[in-house]
């Protein structure tokens, strides 16, 4: 499946061991951002056969009638699929599928399908993010071992990546606004289609993206973002809460995490909220570092930038995002309802992470497919310690017009062994994300966590 990797000059097949960890981009290369490259480093031109168009700025204004707080209307609602990939014809399209998607067709040949639509390069960010990205390009560096970075703020740190670590840091630091309040939940779906929704209230405060953020201030405070999560349902779990302070330099100071347990009414340090610790109320279907497709310290893996590839990825999934569908409409046996999904051909960076000999993790290898226009991980294939495909993760993306940012509306983790899946980000029956919130840092303390859990 890797034969077609490396379709543009910038997509060199570079092993991490062959590339310096502190490579900087020249002023001449940085000048390509916004000209032959997009402002975030993607290839601006379309592909040879026209199936991927040129990037022309993405979505820069919301559809008529939209206002912040609404569910985001589908700007492409009148389009029909160009074709549908099914268990009967997937081999004809294998060159544009990840190994994980191929395995999904083999596992669920009667029901899994990809409705493929016209490609729209809809990803966009504010101009100040583009300006910051160009500034970062000539000054950003990976810190010793790649477990942190310096010289970057607000924008993508490494828009022209030299290695896999730089590419994964681009995903971790991609722009998602300055703060967001999310109400929704997740569901672990059995092979027969049964599920219970776990409700969450979440707040995310992103120091890296604040208006006044500078490389110097970020390193001094050493906080990338703060995240707070409270379980709202079912009743037996309600009030359980989690607080995370994600650090920028993880050598200087590892991630800090605290949990609040309603039964004990105590806040406890949680140093194990990292790596392959099972995710909160996820029924063992994802790891902590699976959240947001990948998060946390990259230190347990060797990261290799394999190049670029044209692939079908889940893009512009406004139908799946709509408040006109229910969780019951979405959560069907074996996988989410494919009739609600939209797949498009896009160029993605391919990054392979191989577990270092001295570390343990339930994933021996991970392959990430990262959108060139947003640095959002679109797909991830995870392999067990036998080298067998174990899990397949899909991020179903939309453009949140009010920010704007390309981000997922639903992240789905498929466990191929148990034939179960976990859907995170269910909000169709809740309020839409609120990107206008500006919580104070004092709301992200252990004391605030205890108050949150007791409400």
- Judging by beta carbons within 10 Å of its beta carbon (0-12, 13-18, 19+), is residue 404 exposed, middle or buried? buried
**Which two three-digit tokens encode residue 118?**
């016209």
Q: Report which of 163, 122, 126 is spatially closest to residue 39, judged by C-alpha positions.
A: 126
| pLDDT number for residue 16 | 35
**8 Å CB contact between 149 and 163:** no
Q: Give the Cα separation of 57 and 370 in Å (integer).
A: 19
Mean pLDDT of 9-22: 38
State the number of CA atoms in the 13 A half-sphere of 420 facing the CB. Answer: 13
Note the pLDDT tens digit of each residue in 361-394: 999 999 999 999 999 999 999 999 999 999 999 9
Residue 14 has pLDDT above 80, yes or no: no
Q: Give the Cα separation of 311 and 380 in Å (integer).
A: 13
Q: Which residues of 130-168 are buried (b: 16+ CB within 10 A; e: fewer)?
A: bebbbbbbeebbbbeebbbbbbbbbbbbbbbbbbbbbbb
Within 95-231, residue ranges assigned H as helices are: 99-107, 127-137, 164-173, 215-221
**8 Å CB contact between 289 and 296:** yes
Residue 11 has pLDDT above 50, yes or no: no
State the number of CA atoms in the 13 A half-sphere of 347 facing the CB. Answer: 27
Note the pLDDT tens digit of each residue in 231-252: 999 998 899 999 999 999 888 8
User: Which one is predicted more confidently, 81 or 251?
Assistant: 81
Least confident of 14-23, 68-77, 139-148: 14-23
> How far, CA to CA in Å, does 412 sit from each of 4, 235, 366, 384?
26, 24, 16, 18
Averaged pLDDT score across all residues of the chain: 93
| pLDDT number for residue 24 | 80
> How far, CA to CA in Å, does 205 sit from each of 49, 107, 247, 280?
42, 39, 13, 20
Residue 15's pLDDT band (boundaries 50, 70, 90)?
very low
Q: What is the pTM of this model?
A: 0.94
Residue 452's pLDDT band (boundaries 50, 70, 90)?
confident
Note the pLDDT tens digit of each residue in 121-136: 999 999 999 999 999 9
Q: Report which of 313, 368, 369 is spatially closest to residue 341, judged by C-alpha positions.
A: 313
Q: Is the dihedral of CA 308, 313, 318, 321 positive or negative?
A: negative
To which residue do tokens 């509306």 refer? Answer: 409
């Amino acid at each position: 499946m890797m034969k077609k990797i490396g379709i543009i000059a910038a997509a060199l097949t570079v092993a991490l061991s062959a590339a310096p960890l502190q490579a900087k981009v020249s002023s001449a290369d940085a000048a390509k951002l916004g000209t032959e490259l997009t402002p975030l480093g993607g290839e601006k031109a379309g592909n040879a056969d026209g199936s991927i168009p040129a990037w022309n700025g993405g979505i820069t204004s919301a559809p008529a009638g939209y206002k912040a707080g609404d569910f985001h209307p589908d700007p492409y609602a009148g389009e029909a699929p160009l074709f549908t990939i099914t268990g009967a014809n997937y081999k004809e399209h294998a060159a544009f599928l990840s190994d994980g998607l191929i395995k999904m067709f083999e596992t669920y040949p009667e029901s899994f399908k990809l409705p493929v639509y016209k490609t729209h390069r809809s990803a966009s960010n504010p101009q100040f993010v583009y300006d910051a990205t160009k500034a970062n390009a000539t000054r950003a560096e990976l810190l010793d071992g790649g477990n942190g970075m310096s010289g970057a703020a607000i924008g993508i740190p490494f828009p022209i990546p030299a290695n896999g670590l730089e590419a994964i840091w681009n995903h971790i630091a991609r722009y998602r606004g300055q703060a967001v309040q999310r109400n929704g939940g997740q569901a672990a779906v059995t092979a027969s289609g049964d599920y219970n929704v776990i409700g969450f209230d979440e707040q995310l405060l992103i120091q890296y993206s604040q208006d006044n953020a500078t490389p110097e201030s970020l390193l001094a405070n050493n906080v990338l973002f703060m995240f707070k999560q409270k379980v709202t349902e079912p009743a037996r779990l309600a009030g359980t809460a989690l607080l995370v302070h994600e650090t920028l330099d993880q050598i200087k100071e590892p991630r800090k995490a605290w949990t609040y347990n309603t039964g004990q009414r105590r806040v406890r340090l949680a140093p194990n909220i990292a790596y392959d610790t099972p995710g909160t109320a996820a029924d063992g279907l994802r790891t902590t570092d699976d959240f947001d497709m990948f998060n946390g310290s990259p230190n347990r893996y060797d990261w290799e930038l394999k190049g670029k590839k044209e692939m079908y990825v889940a893009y512009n999934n406004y139908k799946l995002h709509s408040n006109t569908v229910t969780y019951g409409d979405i959560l069907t046996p074996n996988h989410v309802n494919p009739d609600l999904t939209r797949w498009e051909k896009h160029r993605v960076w391919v990054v392979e992470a191989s577990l270092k000999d001295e570390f343990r993790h339930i994933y021996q290898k991970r392959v990430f497919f990262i959108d060139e226009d947003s640095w959002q991980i679109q797909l991830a294939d995870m392999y067990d310690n036998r080298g067998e495909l174990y899990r397949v993760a899909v991020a179903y993306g939309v453009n949140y017009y009010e920010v704007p940012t390309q981000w997922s509306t639903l992240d789905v983790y498929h466990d191929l062994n148990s034939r179960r899946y976990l859907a995170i980000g269910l909000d169709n029956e809740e309020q839409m994300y609120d990107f206008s919130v500006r919580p104070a840092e004092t709301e992200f303390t252990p004391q605030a966590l205890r108050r949150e859990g007791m409400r």
